[in-house]
Structure 1
Amino acid sequence: MLAQPLAFAYAGWVAGTFLLVSFGFISCYTAKILARIIHSEPHLKLYTDIGRRAFGARSTLVISIAFFLELFLLSVLLVTLYADSLESLVPAHSPVTYKLLALVILIPTLFFPLSALSYTSILGIASLLLILVVVFIDGTSKLDAPGSLWSPAETYPGIRSWNHLGKAFGLFMAGFAGHGVLPSLVHDMEDPCQFDTMANWAFFFSTVIYLLIGGAGYLMFGTPVSEEISRDLLRTPGYNAVLNKICLWMLVVSPLSKFALVVQPLNATVEKLFKSQNKPAHQNPRQRLLGIAQRLSITLLTVGVSIIVPDFGQVTELMGSFSAFLIVVICPIGAKLTITRTCGFFDVLVLGISVLMGTWGTITAFL
């Protein structure tokens, strides 16, 4: 959500709006594909089960790696967001210093029970709502540029750079990542027949929120908008300083509280890939030590990558272009073609364009 204004700055109004609405529609469409496959074959419990059923046993490793990369990049984003937000509030130290300091906080949370960590998700919901409210309060309360909705910055209707368009693919698609949890959601619903209605509303509201904050942020700050619009809110004079600082402090605390929730399935994925848990940890001290070492290693690697690649937008682009296109679009449509043996023109068109966009966006993210 924080990177949506940058995505509009890359793509322009016309292409940006078209891409965002299209990605929201296609993500909703592929979510329903996954639900229909599970309805027809209820024994398929997880996303990897669908992949194995559609593409064979070898696909499990590929899909697990894609999940690993998506979760890993998300954990890198959380560390980067925390450090960037804290550096904006307290510029006495660099983001690198704050990232190293985060280890003191993050490592203990790795050993908290998941039931306790789940309550911290309320901070993420509160942060989302607060950012949305603050953006519009700031934009409407300031009458002069920069940062005003009444006196908009210079924006562009069309595409200014094909390289930037490729970056926009990943930034827009990253907001719709998360299809990996949908099979579990279908099974957990009290009435799975209501899945399509739920999906329609969920992706509708997501798309509307992205349009609102992306459009407002682009109008307020134009092409020079930051990778995280929250940084522009704090350093632009004329806003309510107290309100904006509260918003930024939420973006400091929320990533730290959610880190362990993101890393928990990441650790489980690694354990499954390398079969590091052959016996229960309490029966095997060596296995327990290996599990602790693995958790510490992933956390250290996450912070290290965040230091080496400090660009919030670039990591978001890569997550959206590679993992999101693969998990959200390519695999579900591919599974439909192989399991149901049905193939429409729309499916082939979306599949082909998604492969092209995902490849294009991944290359530009690396470049």
Structure 2
Amino acid sequence: MEACNEENLETQHSDEQQSLEGTTFIRTCFNGINAMSGVGILSVPYALSEVGWSGLILLLLMTIVCWYTGLLLSNCMIAHPFIRTYPDIGKLAFGYKGKVIVAFFLYLELYLVAIEFLILEGDNLNKLFPNISFKVGNLKIKGKQGFTMLAALVFLPTTWLNSLELLAYISAGGVLASIILVLCVLWVGAVDDVGFHERGQFLKWSGMPTTLSLYAFCYNGHAVFPTLFTSMRDNRQFSKVLVISFLLCTFNYASMAILGYLMYGDTVESQVTLNLPIKKVSSKIAIYTTLINPFTKYAFMIYPIAMAIEGRFQYYKSKFISILIRTLLVISTVGVALSIPFFGYLISLTGAFLCVTATMLIPCICYLKISKRYCNFGLQWLVIISILVAGSLVAILGTYVSLREIVHHM
């Protein structure tokens, strides 16, 4: 009896300490929105053009599915409070192998996103300064490739930091950047004589795998959901955080998709900023805003991968080895970015192969295993199985289409 009382007192003390030290509800909402507000917003007009106006229905469906799988993750964490990270959920469900598999998908996804940041910088800087080339000795480097390498040099020192608290504070501007982008595109269409004249089509079946893959990329915040959950003062409100975050992000994505498709129709680029008239002030603001975002987030993509490598080989105590590992990681991302400079197709591949897996498949599989409801046939079981079937189809078809397009354009 005394042991139970002591345990209850410890639990109560832990809860009180969390309520004093944890993140507020509003702050967690902001962090949730920031987790899903990134470079994907540039590609939603292209995603809509691939499938037609019916893509707005697909966007809504993807929102509901990803919101629901986010709830499944939170349910796993409520049942087992010791879970702190996404790989911990995989470990609880399937042991050490499950943790390794989940970590593999997460780290590979972060690596590809870092590559996409470099491609994004190269494309948009080349848009701003189209006639610039670089010369290193006797080697002449074209503008786009040169800008990609130049961006990597600027990113490199940020990856050497052991503490990313300052970058975390700066990266909060990602939410504001997404709003500014939508407003700039609206200004270009309404004021700068581009107009909203494109009618578009309602449905194009051939583009559905690409569109769903891009949408999955946009909503890929599940990797940080466990962190947001554990950081809250009152994590019982996490379900409300998910609702607010998904609603606001969906409104922003849908606005950008509609504006871009009405302005440029089927000619919209994989990054809508590449369509904007470069001489207009609003266009330059949009492009510069696009360029700032990767500067604040690139290090976050590399940091978890570097920490995993350093921890694995026990080199984390050596500053020199740490810098060397991170420098080699940056160099490797530059090499891939120069070899596969296709922003839209690479995002589609990341969305299909990795984001669909992380946002749709893994949460459902782990929840069924942890809750032991894989034998309980009911409405929830039917919903989860439907998500698994649909997600598997999107992953297979989207990956195939993306790889085919990348090979075709190389």
Give the TM-score taking structure 2 as reference length. 0.81
Residue 264 of structure 1 pairs with residue 303 of structure 2: yes
User: Hey, what's the Cα distance between the residues in 1 that align with 2:334 and 2:70?
Assistant: 32
8 Å Cα contact 1:276/1:291 also seen in 2: no
Q: Which secondary structure does the structure 2 equivalent of 1:169 belong to?
A: helix
Aligned to 1:246: 285
8 Å Cα contact 2:118/2:152 also seen in 1: no
8 Å Cα contact 2:184/2:285 also seen in 1: no
Q: How much has 1:290 moved relative to structure 2? A: 2.7
Aligned to 2:257: 214
8 Å Cα contact 1:46/1:184 also seen in 2: yes
Task: Select 2:92's aligned residue among 50, 53, 59.
Answer: 53
Q: How much has 1:91 moved relative to structure 2? A: 1.0
Aligned to 1:110: 159
Pick which of 263-272 and 193-202 moved more.
263-272
Q: How much has 1:271 moved relative to structure 2? A: 3.2
Mapping 1:130-169, distance limit 5 Å: 130-142=180-192, 147-149=194-196, 152-159=197-204, 161-162=205-206, 164-169=207-212
Aligned to 1:353: 390
8 Å Cα contact 2:210/2:398 also seen in 1: yes
Aligned to 1:7: 47
The residue identity in structure 1 corresponding to 2:394 is M
Q: How much has 1:80 moved relative to structure 2? A: 1.2
Q: Deviations over 1:182-211 (max 9, x none)?
A: 111111111111011110111111111111
8 Å Cα contact 1:64/1:269 also seen in 2: no
User: Hey, what's the Cα distance between the residues in 2 that align with 1:73 and 1:12?
Assistant: 27
Give the TM-score taking structure 1 as reference length. 0.90
Q: How much has 1:103 moved relative to structure 2? A: 3.1
8 Å Cα contact 2:51/2:203 also seen in 1: yes
Aligned to 2:115: 76
User: Hey, what's the Cα distance between the residues in 2 that align with 1:345 and 1:118?
Assistant: 39
Aligned to 1:284: none
Q: How much has 1:171 moved relative to structure 2? A: 0.8
Residue 187 of structure 1 pairs with residue 230 of structure 2: yes
Aligned to 1:231: 274
The residue identity in structure 2 corresponding to 1:252 is L
Give 5+ residue unaligned stretches, structure 1. Answer: 282-286
Q: Figure out how many residues of one structure are paired with residues of the other and give that number.
A: 347
Aligned to 1:198: 241
Pick which of 213-222 and 251-260 moved more.
251-260
Give 5+ residue unaligned stretches, structure 2. Answer: 1-40, 133-142, 375-380, 405-410
| C-alpha RMSD of matched pairs (Å) | 1.6
The residue identity in structure 2 corresponding to 1:323 is L
